Structure 1
């Protein structure tokens, strides 16, 4: 089954709103074994929506449309589809009653006249009733083409797709896809690809693909089978081989887990407390940790020691180190990590110091020079990095590498 996703909305076309619906539907289709071949973004214009649908009809058997189902004049997706497939729009009593009940629950006695536009449905279509809004969705079957219309707001689209569309599509599939994501930190994409090019070349089912993230590489392993059990069996040996090749470089095989979650999970597992000491990252590492629910059980303190005076005052970095080696040095990073842990009586610490730019670099110490360090069980490990990019990119790479160093140190010292 070949699919096309058409996202309707001038706000998407102009870049005012990020098109998260397109990404969500593509991911979900992949899980169902449906190949998405085209993405189209179109403004709120009935003529152009019609043209987009007619084009999609020629090259895809499954067409998704999101947005344009609201009550305003520029919401015309339903009208465009009705025009292409020559279907009438007829008022549905049940949808009308649902709109009335929704307004009643919101405590609004008067319903704007334009909301009744949403009670009109595509003749002959399957109605997808909306428990989270006033716009119903639709499944329209026309010959070999299936058109699925979904509301634009994610809080309405996601539950409608998961509760109504997935069961419909699953019943029509003769195979399923199963995917496992292997997440690696501290290794560049080209190096990862070099290490697995034989697997990529030899495999067609499962398929293997790499994706570059900030200081990370994700390897997606996807297999097709007659059912999930068969697909899982195909994926399992490939993931096992990847674990063998990358070892501790892999921080998770759970697509929903990010790096900071894996670090917090490790800290909890070993009942450890941590402290951060940050210079050029300015609290970014602590912020990433705090994004994880329950981080308060492991994060004890956080210091942003941007000035040399702060490094001396809060982390006990020696004056002689700063004078002889400067704050952009391995020696300073080492003292920051040790001082943070000892002064605050924490089990582990992570520290960062460097030059994020765009100014401040020299030939000897260029912009992008960053030292990350970690204290664990009385030992301090320091790594030197040379990052490229904007100030923000350098700071983000620094924070990611610091968390990865902390993760690896915990594994080496406590497991």
Structure 2
């Protein structure tokens, strides 16, 4: 079965909002036998919206619209669906009553424009929206179906999961098979090397594996099509095992697991603690680690030591090191990692110093030069990196490299 997603809103075309809703829906549908072959975005214009919906209906088994169900004059999805299906808009008195009750309960003023949300195409039935005021719609006419969902994710996701997924699963009915995917997350290994190690496995047609380069890591998406979820999962597991044999510990996680989560889990498993001393990353490494719930069990604390004075006074970096080698150097990173470990009593200390740019570089020490050190009872390891990109990218890559180094020490 073929599904098509039509996202409605001029703000999407203008780049003011990123369409995370369409990505969410696209990720859910393959598991119930639906393939998303087309995604369109159209602005708040009734004529163009109607044309877009007619095109979608001509080539897809189900069309899912996102947004444009609100009460304002530029919320035109109801009208567009009615026009595309050649159906009149009718006032749903039950919806009208529900809207009035919602506003009375919340003590909001009820303006006349709100009642636009009580209209629907004559062939449509409403979908409840306990998290907002705009009901969704399922409009069926012959073998054509349009599903309309509200734009706010807090409203769309529950409505999609509770009503649309079961409906589409049932509608797929006799359509055999499901499509499942699993993502393997790889760090400390570039895309070219990853691809070289699994290039023969990438030739398969079912299941398939495809690499995607992300900032500081590589994702491998394994996809399998089979008559049942159990068979698809078995196919994925078999290919995953073969990939793991090739890549080993470079695979740090699966699906939505982040590198910081993987590092935290290793620290918890060892009963170990870590402290961090950051300069050019400005606390980004600490931020990423504290995004993990329960990080306080392993993260002792950290210092953002931008000035040389603070490096000396708090971290114990020798003035001679700074004078002879500079703040951005291997000896300084080493002293920072050892100093924060000594200061906090943590099992592991991480030090980061570098030049994030866009200014501050020299021929000897260019923008993007970063030194990262990890200190432990077994000694201190220091690595030099030369990152490219904007300031924010250099900072992110440095924090990523620090997590990779810490993970390697923990394995």
Which of the five TM-score ranges fits, normalised by the shorter chain? Answer: over 0.9
Q: How far apart are the structure 1 equivalents of 2:60 and 2:376? A: 56
1:238 matched residue in structure 2? 239
SS at match of 1:65: strand
Q: How far apart are the structure 1 equivalents of 2:120 and 2:21? A: 22
SS at match of 1:323: helix
1:287 maps onto 2:287 in alignment: yes
1:161 maps onto 2:160 in alignment: yes
Call closer, same or farther: CA 1:102–1:174 in 2, change over 3 Å. Answer: farther
2:327 matched residue in structure 1? 327
1:68 matched residue in structure 2? 68
Shift of 1:270: 2.0
CA contact (8 A) 2:5 2:22 kept: yes
Q: How far apart are the structure 1 equivalents of 2:193 and 2:59? A: 37
1:58 matched residue in structure 2? 58
Shift of 1:32: 3.1
Shift of 1:326: 2.0
Shift of 1:297: 2.2
1:402 matched residue in structure 2? 402
2:205 matched residue in structure 1? 204
1:385 matched residue in structure 2? 385
Q: How far apart are the structure 2 equivalents of 1:133 and 1:237? A: 44
Gaps in structure 1 of 5+ consecutive residues: none
SS at match of 1:340: helix
CA contact (8 A) 1:350 1:403 kept: no
1:250 matched residue in structure 2? 251
Call closer, same or farther: CA 1:7–1:266 in 2, change over 3 Å. Answer: same
Shift of 1:148: 1.1
CA contact (8 A) 2:321 2:332 kept: yes
Call closer, same or farther: CA 1:26–1:360 in 2, change over 3 Å. Answer: same
Alignment of 1:61-140 (within 5 A): 61-108=61-108, 110-140=109-139
Deviation track 1:211-254 (CA, whole Å, cap 9, x = no partner) reads 2211011111111111111111100011112222222211112x
Shift of 1:340: 0.8
Q: How far apart are the structure 2 equivalents of 1:326 and 1:117? A: 66
Shift of 1:101: 2.7
CA RMSD of aligned residues (A): 1.6
Shift of 1:17: 1.7
Deviation track 1:343-378 (CA, whole Å, cap 9, x = no partner) reads 210111211111112222222322211111112333
Shift of 1:103: 1.4
1:369 matched residue in structure 2? 369
CA contact (8 A) 2:33 2:176 kept: no
Gaps in structure 2 of 5+ consecutive residues: none
Deviation track 1:152-173 (CA, whole Å, cap 9, x = no partner) reads 1111110000011111112214
Structure 1 consecutive aligned stretches of length 4 or more whose deviation exceeds 4 Å: none
Shift of 1:307: 1.8
1:274 matched residue in structure 2? 274
Q: How far apart are the structure 2 equivalents of 1:33 and 1:196? A: 28
Of the structure 1 ranges 29-38 and 209-218, higher mean CA displacement relative to structure 2 is found in: 29-38
Deviation track 1:73-119 (CA, whole Å, cap 9, x = no partner) reads 111111111011111222223322321232133123x4211111211
1:184 maps onto 2:186 in alignment: yes
Q: How far apart are the structure 1 equivalents of 2:376 and 2:176? A: 52
CA contact (8 A) 1:95 1:129 kept: no
Match of 1:175 among 174, 177, 188: 177
Shift of 1:2: 2.2
Q: How far apart are the structure 2 equivalents of 1:410 and 1:28? A: 35
SS at match of 1:117: helix
CA contact (8 A) 1:349 1:375 kept: yes
Matched residue count:
408
TM-score normalised by L of structure 2: 0.95
CA contact (8 A) 1:376 1:410 kept: no
Of the structure 1 ranges 393-402 and 27-36, higher mean CA displacement relative to structure 2 is found in: 27-36
